[in-house]
C-alpha cells in the first residue's frame, strides 16, 4: 500500500474504504461480509474508513467490526455532521455523541461538515457557534481533524475553502468531473493552501467501470493492460494534492483489485499515451451529451444568477446516465441554494455567448435544459421545498 501524508504528518493510505455501499442482507447490512472486506483491507494496509450519520447502519456496522477485532487504533475514522438537518447548537452535540456511540469510540480522526452545496450552509453553522464547538472538541481530542465534503459549484467551493482553517476537504472528482463541481480548479486551490483532498465518486458511481462498448474497445486495444477501474484510479493517483481516494468496496474481489492498483500507483506515473487514452474514452462517453460545455466558466457570472455550467452539466448527465438521479442532483445542487441558479432566470442578454470559447448557443440550450431538467412535477416540488427552507 502507498501512503500520503495529512497536515499533521500522519501516513494515510491512498486508498480509502468508503462505507456507504456495504452489501445489503434483508433490511440491513451483511455484517459478516462487511467484516471480511474491512479486515482484508486493514491487513493489506488500508487505514482510512469513511462513513456518515445518514448512511443507514454504516457507522454502527463499522464500530462493531473495529471493536470486535480490537483494531480501532490501526485505522482513521472519518464521519460527518448532517448539517442540512441541524437547527440548534444542542443538535450538533447530540448528533456527535450519537455518532461516537455508534462507532464505539471516544474520538473521530476526520470529522466533516457533510455535503455543502451553498455558502449559506456554513453561515448557518457559524450562527450556531460551530467554530467554538470545533475548537472545544479539538482541544479535548475528541476531534482530530476538521473538514467538509462538497457537492456544489467551483466558486462556492473556493469561498468555503477560504472561510475557515480546514484540515482537509472531500470532493467529487474523476476524469469526467474534471471541470465540474469543485473540479481541478478547486483541487489545485486546496493544494495551494496545504489542505489535503479526499476524493469521492472516483469512478462516477460505477459509470467509469461499466464503459460503453466502444470505450471498452479503446481501452482493450491501448496496450496499457488497465481495467476500466484502474484507468480511473490511476488518473487520480497521478495527481499531487490528493491525499486519499475513497472506493465504496462491497465485494472481496473489489477490495483485492483496488488494493493491487493502490499498491503500485504513484504521482507522475501516468504517461502521455495514458492521458490520450483517457481523452479517447471521455470522447466516447460524451457522444451522448447534449451541450458541448467544458465547464470552463468563461460565461460566468450571469447577471441574473443562472448557473450556466451547472445547468448544462446536469442536462448532459441525464443522457449519459439516468434521468431521475440527474434531476435529483440538479434540484439538490442548483435549485435548493439560497439563490437558485435555474435556466428560467435567463433574460436573453447574450453576455455569456460573447465569452464562450466553444461558441455554444447558450440562450437556446438553456431553454432546452430547463424543459428537460424541470418538468412540471419537479417545478412544483422544488417550489414547495424552497418555501419550507425559507421558513426554517
Check residues 35 and 387 and name the one with the higher pLDDT. Answer: 35
Q: What is the pLDDT of residue 162?
A: 98
Q: What is the pLDDT of residue 320?
A: 80
Q: What is the pLDDT of residue 322?
A: 82
Q: What is the pLDDT of residues 320-338, one digit of tens each?
A: 878 998 998 888 888 877 7
Check residues 12 and 151 and name the one with the higher pLDDT. Answer: 12
In this prediction the pTM is 0.81
Q: What is the pLDDT of residue 17?
A: 98
Show me where the domains of the chain are located: 3-279, 289-391
Q: What is the pLDDT of residues 157-190, one digit of tens each?
A: 999 999 999 999 999 999 988 988 899 999 999 9
- pLDDT(305) > 90: yes
Q: What is the pLDDT of residues 254-288, one digit of tens each?
A: 999 999 999 999 999 999 999 999 999 999 988 88
| Least trusted range by pLDDT, from 6-10, 117-121, 264-268 | 117-121
Q: What is the pLDDT of residue 335?
A: 80
Looking at the chain, the whole-number percentage of residues with pLDDT higher than 70 is 98
Q: Across all residues in the chain, what is the average pLDDT? A: 93
- pLDDT(392) > 60: no
Residue 297: band (very low, low, confident or very high) from pLDDT cuts 50, 70, 90: confident
- Please give the average per-residue pLDDT across 6-26, as a whole number: 95
- Please give the average per-residue pLDDT across 73-80, as a whole number: 98
- pLDDT(205) > 80: no
| Least trusted range by pLDDT, from 8-12, 39-43, 195-199, 374-378 | 374-378
Whole-angstrom Cα Rg for the chain = 21
- Please give the average per-residue pLDDT across 116-129, as a whole number: 95
Domain 3-279 homologous superfamily, CATH: NADP-dependent oxidoreductase domain (3.20.20.100)
Q: What is the pLDDT of residue 382?
A: 79
| Least trusted range by pLDDT, from 135-139, 330-334, 349-353 | 330-334
Q: What is the pLDDT of residue 391?
A: 62
Check residues 49 and 323 and name the one with the higher pLDDT. Answer: 49
Amino acid at each position: 500500500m502507498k501512503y500520503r501524508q495529512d497536515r499533521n504528518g500522519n501516513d494515510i493510505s491512498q486508498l480509502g474504504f468508503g462505507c456507504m455501499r456495504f452489501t445489503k442482507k434483508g433490511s440491513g447490512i451483511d455484517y459478516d461480509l462487511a467484516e471480511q472486506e474491512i479486515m482484508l483491507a486493514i491487513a493489506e494496509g488500508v487505514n482510512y474508513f469513511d462513513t456518515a450519520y445518514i448512511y443507514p447502519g454504516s457507522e454502527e456496522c463499522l464500530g462493531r467490526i473495529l471493536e470486535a477485532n480490537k483494531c480501532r487504533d490501526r485505522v482513521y475514522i472519518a464521519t460527518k455532521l448532517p448539517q442540512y438537518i441541524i437547527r440548534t447548537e444542542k443538535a450538533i452535540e447530540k448528533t456527535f455523541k450519537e455518532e461516537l456511540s455508534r462507532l464505539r469510540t471516544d474520538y473521530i480522526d476526520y470529522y466533516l461538515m457533510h455535503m455543502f452545496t451553498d455558502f449559506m450552509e456554513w453561515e448557518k453553522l457559524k450562527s450556531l457557534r460551530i467554530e467554538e464547538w470545533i475548537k472545544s472538541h479539538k482541544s479535548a481530542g475528541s476531534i482530530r481533524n476538521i473538514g467538509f465534503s462538497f457537492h456544489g459549484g467551483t466558486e462556492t467551493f473556493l469561498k468555503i475553502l477560504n472561510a475557515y482553517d480546514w484540515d482537509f476537504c472531500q470532493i467529487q472528482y474523476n476524469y469526467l468531473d474534471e471541470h465540474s463541481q469543485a473540479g481541478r480548479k478547486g483541487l489545485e486551490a486546496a493544494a495551494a493552501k496545504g489542505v489535503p483532498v479526499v476524493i469521492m465518486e472516483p469512478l462516477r458511481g460505477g459509470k467509469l467501470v461499466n464503459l460503453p462498448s466502444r470505450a471498452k474497445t479503446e481501452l482493450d486495444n491501448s496496450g496499457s493492460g488497465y481495467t476500466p477501474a484502474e484507468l480511473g484510479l490511476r488518473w487520480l493517483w497521478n495527481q499531487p494534492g490528493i491525499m486519499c481516494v475513497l472506493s465504496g468496496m462491497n465485494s472481496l474481489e473489489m477490495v483485492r483489485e483496488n488494493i493491487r492498483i493502490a499498491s503500485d500507483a504513484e504521482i507522475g506515473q501516468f504517461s502521455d499515451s495514458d492521458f490520450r487514452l483517457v481523452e479517447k474514452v471521455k470522447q466516447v462517453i460524451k457522444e451522448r451529451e447534449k451541450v458541448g460545455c467544458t465547464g470552463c466558466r468563461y460565461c460566468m457570472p450571469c447577471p441574473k444568477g443562472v448557473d450556466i455550467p451547472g445547468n448544462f452539466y446536469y442536462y448532459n448527465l441525464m443522457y449519459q446516465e439516468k434521468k431521475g438521479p440527474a434531476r435529483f442532483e440538479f434540484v439538490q445542487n442548483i435549485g435548493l441554494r439560497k439563490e437558485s441558479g435555474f435556466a428560467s432566470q435567463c433574460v436573453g442578454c447574450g453576455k455569456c455567448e460573447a465569452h464562450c470559447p466553444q461558441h455554444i448557443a447558450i440562450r437556446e440550450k438553456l431553454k432546452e435544459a430547463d424543459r428537460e431538467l424541470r418538468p412540471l412535477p419537479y417545478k412544483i416540488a422544488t417550489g414547495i421545498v424552497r418555501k419550507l427552507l425559507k421558513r426554517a
